Amino acid sequence: MPVTYLKQSTGLPPQENTETSARVQEILTEIRQGKEAAAEGFARQFDGWDGPFVVPQAEVEAAVQKVPQALQDDIRYAHDNIRRFAEAQLDSISEFEMELKPGLVTGQKQIPLRAAGCYVPGGRYSHIASALMTITTARVAGVSHVAACSPPNAETGLPPAILFAMHLAGADRILAMGGVQAVAAMKHGLFGTEPVDILVGPGNQFVAEAKRQLFGEVGIDMFAGPTDCMVLADATADPEIVAWDLVGQAEHGPNSPVWLATDHDPLARAVMAQVHQCIAELPEPNRSSAAEAWATLGEVILCDTREEMAQVADDYGPEHLQVQAEDLDWWKARLRSYGSLFLGEHSTVTFGDKASGPNHVLPTSGAARYTGGLSVHKFLKTVTWQTATPEALPEIAGVSASISRHEGMIGHARSAEMRLEKFC
């Protein structure tokens, strides 16, 4: 039977904003033409920052002294997990060489990108983890030059913890700059950075739109929308834990959807009641953000079976997917559409967002149906090569010429046949 919505979303607002798109295009055009002077002008206007845009090495080193030792230790713990996970990803990728037919030798290589630009969000939250996730992964992949930027506080610049995390992760150049101007600066190689091959990292709608418009000229990690989360829970789940996991993600902002799918009606209703209590415990402005997200975008979906729950998750393609249910091996084998999977009540999205190791830059808005998140793969080009000896020519040249002539591509055919004539 069809699933039942005990609570249903009123729907996300339209993702495309023509005013935002037009404004971003104007800024990108002005910076493309005016270079550093134009970028500086927008940075002074939007960030309100009067200090240097390139963070001096002395300031980076001084930041270490300003970060409490306990927080330094926590950041190092997270960095170690993220680095080791990325190293394991790199080890899983292989180069190879093989002789497909006598004399026809082919192969695959992995070539790191030359330069990467990592955007670290600022504003209401200090995104320490985003600095670690993006910069560390680029470094492990073997990227030669890694630039990082983040919007500064108008009075104090970049928070010491952000600078410490950027430095620890291995940034070559740090810019105290946010928004479209920062993205454009990294793209064009302004302020002593190298022109980048790829732009990565989350940001607001202007940053996301800037990356979208620059895609093609450079690579990007993904088209990012508001963060989202789904919890799959059965009768064994703890309603309070489920509720806090939903609220924890809803506090990202009023446009962050959170969903619960369950086959147990009493649990669903208990969670719905508990969510309001959890939201009430949050400070402002987190409370208002979470309350609005839950009121407009929160969903509670009642299913008949666990297979139905799994199908709901596959249809939604959530960025974060948590399973708080029995038989975790079944869920891990069955589920196939998510950015990152969190199995069991002892695991939570918070771990993945901050410190557990797998990358937290993940596909949103259903994109998990066709792509994964940021990884060392994004900073590598998988390229192929081939060579042939005279031994291979009779077959490979003959077949290639035949197919070319049937396609009407006579130049292709002659290119192949010429080798038969000259070398065979």
Task: Read off the pLDDT band of 12 (50, 70, 90).
Answer: low
Same domain, 129 and 77: yes
Tell me what pLDDT residue 18 has.
86
Task: Read off the pLDDT band of 16 (50, 70, 90).
Answer: low
Tell me what pLDDT residue 191 has.
96
From 179, 204, 220, give the residue that closes a domain. Answer: 220
Same domain, 235 and 207: no
Note the pLDDT tens digit of each residue in 340-378. 999 999 999 999 999 999 999 999 999 999 999 999 999
Tell me what pLDDT residue 73 has.
97
List the alpha helices (DSSP H) in 282-348: 286-297, 306-316, 328-334
Q: Give the Å distances, CA to CA, from 115 to 88, 92, 141, 188, 197.
A: 22, 23, 11, 11, 5
Half-sphere exposure of residue 391, counting CA atoms within 13 Å on the CB side? 9
Average pLDDT over residues 134-156: 96
Same domain, 185 and 237: no
Sheet (strand 380-388) strand order: 96-101, 104-112, 380-388
Average pLDDT over residues 65-76: 96
From 180, 199, 220, give the residue that closes a domain. Answer: 220
Q: What is the pTM of this model?
A: 0.93
Same domain, 169 and 134: yes
Position of tokens 């969000």?
Answer: 121
Sheet (strand 340-343) strand order: 4-7, 299-302, 258-262, 229-233, 320-324, 340-343
Instruction: Exactly one of 30, 251, 319, 417 is catalytic; name it.
Output: 319
- Percentages of the chain per state (helix, strand, coil), in multiples of 5: 50, 20, 30
φ/ψ of residue 419, rounded to 5: -75, -35
Evaluate whether residue 383 is within a structural domain.
no
Average pLDDT over residues 12-31: 84
Evaluate whether residue 31 is within a structural domain.
no
Task: Indicate if the pLDDT at residue 14 is higher than 60.
Answer: no
Task: Indicate if the pLDDT at residue 318 is higher than 90.
Answer: yes
CB 252 within 8 A of CB 258: no
Task: Indicate if the pLDDT at residue 108 is higher than 60.
Answer: yes
Q: Is 276 a catalytic residue?
A: no
Same domain, 250 and 127: no
Same domain, 163 and 280: no
Task: Indicate if the pLDDT at residue 306 is higher than 60.
Answer: yes
Tell me what pLDDT residue 126 has.
73
Tell me what pLDDT residue 275 has.
98
Same domain, 186 and 70: yes
Report the percentage of the chain scoring pLDDT > 90: 91
From 220, 252, 277, give the residue that closes a domain. Answer: 220
Same domain, 201 and 337: no
Task: Read off the pLDDT band of 156 (50, 70, 90).
Answer: confident
Task: Indicate if the pLDDT at residue 241 is higher than 80.
Answer: yes
Tell me what pLDDT residue 307 has.
97
Position of tokens 């992995």?
Answer: 110
Evaluate whether residue 116 is within a structural domain.
yes
Same domain, 215 and 250: no
Same domain, 180 and 291: no
Evaluate whether residue 27 is within a structural domain.
no
Q: Within 10 A of 248 (CB to CB), how many other CB atoms are there?
A: 19
Out of 7-16, 192-201, 243-252, 302-311, pick the least confident. 7-16
Query: What is the sign of the dihedral through the CA atoms of 170, 175, 181 and 184?
Result: negative
**DSSP state, residue 309:** H
Q: Is 61 a catalytic residue?
A: no
Q: Which of 218, 199, 268, 216 is nearest to 239 (CA)?
A: 268
Average pLDDT over residues 12-26: 80
Number of domains in the chain: 3
Evaluate whether residue 206 is within a structural domain.
yes
Note the pLDDT tens digit of each residue in 175-188. 999 999 999 999 99
Burial string for 89-99 (b: 16+ CB within 10 Å, else e) reads bbeeeeeeeee
Task: Indicate if the pLDDT at residue 234 is higher than 70.
Answer: yes
Residue 356 token pair: 């557990």
Task: Indicate if the pLDDT at residue 147 is higher than 80.
Answer: yes
Same domain, 154 and 298: no
CB 164 within 8 A of CB 110: no
Same domain, 393 and 312: no
Evaluate whether residue 377 is within a structural domain.
no
Q: What is the 3-state secondary structure (H, E, C) of 311-322?
A: HHHHHHCCCEEE
Task: Indicate if the pLDDT at residue 272 is higher than 80.
Answer: yes
Instruction: Give Cβ neighbours of residue 9 (< 8 Å, ≥ 6 apart).
Output: 257, 296, 297, 298, 299
* Average pLDDT over the chain, rounded to an integer: 95
Average pLDDT over residues 148-163: 93
Cα-based torsion angle of the residue sequence 356, 360, 364, 367 in order, rounded to the nearest 10 degrees: -90
State the distance between the two ends of the chain, measured CA to CA, in whole angstroms.
68
User: For residue 270, what is the domain's CATH number?
Assistant: 3.40.50.1980
Evaluate whether residue 26 is within a structural domain.
no
Task: Indicate if the pLDDT at residue 142 is higher than 70.
Answer: yes
Tell me what pLDDT residue 13 has.
56
Instruction: Exactly one of 79, 127, 264, 320 is catalytic; name it.
Output: 320
Q: Which domain holds residue 407?
A: 389-423
Evaluate whether residue 382 is within a structural domain.
no
Q: Give the Å distances, CA to CA, from 257 to 9, 347, 395.
A: 8, 20, 57
Comparing 253 with 76, which gets the higher pLDDT? 76
Task: Indicate if the pLDDT at residue 11 is higher than 90.
Answer: no
Task: Read off the pLDDT band of 329 (50, 70, 90).
Answer: very high
Q: Which of 41-50, 119-128, 275-284 has the highest mean pLDDT?
A: 275-284
The rounded radius of gyration (Å) of the Cα atoms in the chain is 25
Tell me what pLDDT residue 308 has.
97
Average pLDDT over residues 121-144: 91
